[in-house]
Amino acid sequence: MLQDDDEQDNKYRWAASGYEKTWEIVGEDDSGRIEPSVTEMIQRARRRRLLEREASVRLGIMRHVFVILDMSQAMSEQDFKPTRQICTLKILEDFMKEFHDQNPISQMGLISMQNKTAKPCSNLSNNPQRLLEAIKKLLEAPCRGEPSIQNALDVALSSLRHLPRHTSREVLIIYAALTTCDPGEIETTIKKVKEANIRVSVIGLTAELHICREISTETGGSMSVSMNDVHLKELINEHLEPPPASVKMDHTLIKVGFPHQVNTDAKAALCMCHLDELPALNTRGYYCPQCTAKYCDLPAECRVCGLMLVTAPHLARSYRHLFPLKHFIEEPSQNISATNCYGCVKPFTDSSADKNVYICGTCKQVFCFNCDIFLHETLHSCPGCASNPSISQYHSS
């Protein structure tokens, strides 16, 4: 009764209906490896995302980010090798180092959810060492019980609530369980979080939960679910970039101190960052310009007078947001006369990776696909423009 006589040519109905055969895209390259084609797909997706990012949007560069990690029983599953817990923690380690690199004036903290309670593993701090130690401890902790989103958000709220209004407050939840066991109504917590102007994003490892989606849309964050460990790394690294500032954020002038490293008339002092362990009494370190307290490392927030201490290179790192590198023009490689990439001097081959080349709009140099990604994600400047004296001297951007 339900049989179609049209399909007599041995095709399945689902195949004829325009079903995308995604497995055919993955092929082996010349050396017989599949991995390059998979990474290529991921890179293309990355490039697409870069294009979507708009310029001339005010960003929240001074960020205070809490990472809430699920340590419930669901994290001991082994679908991410070796277990979800170990895989996620390793990715978080790299994330924290990169975060500290790219966001020098931001702070990060860590909270873990286990046994229906939330435990703060590390408070908000500028120093990545403490976070890395907390992660090492979590690597050995067992995963037990059920997570509680309400308790974790309450703990994050109690710290983020007292921060000045011009900072960007964010929470990143990494969630693997399919349930949450809360002591009360989570709606009230969501309301409080929204009033405090905190942006909550969720990365799921198993599936998308309605409550996670609701939290992230209400607070203006993002919700995504990862498919495998490479995808998870990408999703977490998306949060390295500062998010667009909400319209409710104050914009004020912030007082910043620039300590000199060489102090000729400095007095020997104990550093304020290591008072718990016996610090040495010497003149090595940076002295706060306002209250002369000593610190070993910058960037730091002066514990005595509250002044933010940075060096000029730290602030200069955020220039790439003010003057982003313009997108390159994509052209098929047959139309271009150049035979080598200007960035890596690799000759353009006939393989699928070199089907398109990328041309800088200002200096008209030609770059390959990998160089394009590298320049836009890591270097943030075009070597063609920098090596061209007429362009680089007059700073025309």
Partner 1 sequence: MSDTCFGLGTPVLRQTSKPKMSGEREDILLQVNHVRYKKNNGQLYLSQSRVGWMMDDSDTFAVSVQYSDIRTQKISPEGKPKVQLQIVLHDMTTHTFHFCTPEGRDKQVIERNQTKERLAQLMDKRKRLPPDDLVQKKRMLDENEQLCQLYKDLVATEIISGDEFWKEIAVQYKNNMGPNQDVGISGAFLADIKPQTDGSNGKVQYNITPEIMLAVFKTYPAVKKKHSEYVPHRMSEAEFWTRFFQSHYYSVHTNSSSENVFSECAKYDDKEWNRDVGSAKNDPLCDLIDIYEEKPMSIESDIRIAGAKAGSNIMHATMIKRFNQQSVGIIKAHAYTEREKLLDELAAQNPDSLPNGDEEPEVEVHKSKKARLEEKVTYDDLQGPSKVESASLTINQTHRYLIGPTEYTTVQNLEPRQVNILQQQLVATVSNWKPDLPHSQDPDAAYMNLQQFSDMCRRSRTSAGIRSGDELPGKLHKELTLVYSSAGELLRHFWSCFPPRTPQLQEKLHRMHQTLCRYHEKTIRPFRDMAVNDYNCNTTILDHLLGMINIANTKYENWKSRNSR
Give residues in contact with partner 1 (CB under 8 A): 56-59, 116-118, 120, 146, 148, 150-151, 154-155, 158-159, 162, 179, 181-185, 188, 220, 244-247, 249, 267-270, 272, 275, 278-283, 290-294, 303-306, 319, 322-323, 395, 397
CB of 83 to partner 1, least distance (A): 22
Give whichever of 268 and 336 is closer to partner 1, judged by the CB atom. Answer: 268
CB of 247 to partner 1, least distance (A): 5
Omega prior to 289 cis, within 30 of 0: no
CB of 218 to partner 1, least distance (A): 12
Give whichever of 191 and 346 is closer to partner 1, judged by the CB atom. Answer: 191
DSSP 282: B
CB of 346 to partner 1, least distance (A): 32
Nearest to 105 by CA among 277, 307, 281: 307
CB of 287 to partner 1, least distance (A): 9
Instruction: Give whole-number Cα distances, 207 to 92, 111, 118, 289, 318, in Å.
Output: 20, 21, 21, 51, 35
Give whichever of 83 and 159 is closer to partner 1, judged by the CB atom. Answer: 159
Give whichever of 275 and 386 is closer to partner 1, judged by the CB atom. Answer: 275
Give whichever of 243 and 343 is closer to partner 1, judged by the CB atom. Answer: 243
Element (H, E) at 386: helix 383-386
- Based on C-alpha coordinates, what's the Rg of the chain? 25
CA dist 252 and 233 (Å) reads 34
CA dist 171 and 117 (Å) reads 17
Instruction: Give yes or no for a contact between 66 and 124, defined as CB atoms under 8 angstroms apart.
Output: yes
CB of 268 to partner 1, least distance (A): 4
Q: What are the tokens at 205?
A: 């490892």
CB of 273 to partner 1, least distance (A): 11
Give whichever of 153 and 375 is closer to partner 1, judged by the CB atom. Answer: 153
Q: Are strands 300-301 and 308-309 parallel, antiparallel or unpaired?
A: antiparallel
Per DSSP, the three-state class of 69 is strand
Q: What are the tokens at 36?
A: 């390059």
Give whichever of 13 and 303 is closer to partner 1, judged by the CB atom. Answer: 303
